[in-house]
């Protein structure tokens, strides 16, 4: 480094810096300039560096933002728009988490491409075989948070926030607490069928109350020109997902999990065992990264 600084600090105009080391009494000034030029030029003519290792060609998916691990936007990004949705946060007890992790381990062994809901960006190499992703150590990782959607995820403008949030709070003013029960494993597809989800559906406990809440949110959305929820709501929490429409494979997984839980194979009829339940106590609206509480019970508890 000192040598490089020496060449860069050498005056190119022949000024009275310390140039005596390059000259003799009989050397003309041009000779001094020529020597310095050769010395400086030689710095940039070093032997070429070896090529980078081939592993660098295998770029991790997490470093490629446009791909989003194969996911697609449900609507195009527009400056000033914020994705928003209304939901019920779902706490999961330690006992329920242990049961879910065991069942999802079975799901992972049957369908290795399933990912946990927090596993949206997989740090792995582009040349990997996604169907051989190892889950042997811990299976599908449970997300940190779960929720029941009361609306679609839709884009709203900044000025709509100031009216949508107060209106939602007004509609939920008379809300009471109730128990929500989960029991049946089902599969779901997003609107463009680019992802398949495996989840637990709300059974008898709390189902009618949640559908009433969805109707309240839909009323507020319509007043703001926002699309309503699905015609036949199926309240649930999503626990795992896979790219594309792989509903046939996912359905086999759901059927196996229902059998392990002792549930009837006929949807809407027969026996459905409650896997776990919790006492509903909150409704939120998430707009972009901002969370707006819509209704919060005075005390929250769950089993």
Helix/strand/coil (H/E/C) assignment for every residue in 77-115: CCCCEEEEEEEEEECCCHHHHHHHHHHHHHHHHHCCCCE
Active-site residue among 68, 77, 147, 224? 147
How deeply is 264 buried, as exposed, middle or buried, from its count of CB atoms within 10 A (0-12, 13-18, 19+)? middle
Contacts 24+ apart (CB under 8 A), 257-262: 257/103, 257/106, 257/107, 257/185, 258/184, 258/185, 260/103, 260/106, 261/103, 261/183, 261/185
Active-site residue among 68, 77, 224, 236? 236
147 is catalytic: yes
Closest among 255, 303, 262 to 279, alpha carbons compared: 303
159 is catalytic: no
Q: Which residues are catalytic?
A: 147, 236
């Amino acid at each position: 480094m000192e040598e490089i600084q020496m060449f860069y600090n050498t005056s190119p105009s022949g000024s009275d810096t310390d140039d005596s080391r390059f000259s003799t009494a009989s050397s003309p000034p041009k000779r001094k300039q020529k020597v310095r030029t050769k010395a400086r030029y030689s710095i940039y003519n070093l032997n070429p560096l070896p090529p980078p290792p081939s592993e660098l060609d295998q770029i991790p998916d997490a470093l490629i933002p446009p791909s989003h691990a194969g996911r697609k936007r449900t609507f195009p990004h527009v400056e000033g728009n914020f994705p928003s949705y209304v939901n019920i946060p779902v706490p999961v007890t330690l006992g329920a988490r242990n049961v879910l992790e065991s069942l999802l381990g079975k799901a992972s062994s049957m369908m290795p491409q399933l990912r946990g809901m927090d596993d949206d960006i997989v740090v792995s190499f582009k040349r990997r075989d996604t169907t051989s992703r190892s889950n042997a150590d811990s299976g599908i990782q449970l997300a940190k948070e779960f929720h029941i959607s009361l609306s679609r995820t839709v884009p709203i403008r900044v000025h709509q926030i100031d009216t949508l949030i107060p209106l939602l709070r007004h509609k939920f003013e008379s809300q009471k607490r109730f128990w929500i029960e989960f029991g049946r494993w089902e599969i779901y597809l997003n609107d463009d069928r680019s992802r398949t989800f495996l989840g637990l559906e709300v059974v008898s406990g709390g189902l009618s109350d949640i559908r009433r809440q969805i109707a309240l949110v839909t009323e507020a959305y319509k007043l703001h020109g926002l699309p309503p929820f699905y015609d036949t709501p199926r309240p649930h929490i999503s626990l795992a997902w896979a790219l594309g429409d792989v509903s046939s494979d996912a359905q086999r997984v759901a059927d196996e999990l229902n059998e392990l839980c002792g549930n009837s194979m006929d949807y809407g009829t027969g026996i459905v065992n409650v896997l776990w339940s919790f006492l509903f106590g909150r409704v939120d609206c998430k707009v972009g990264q901002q969370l707006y509480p819509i209704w919060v019970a005075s005390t929250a508890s769950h089993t």
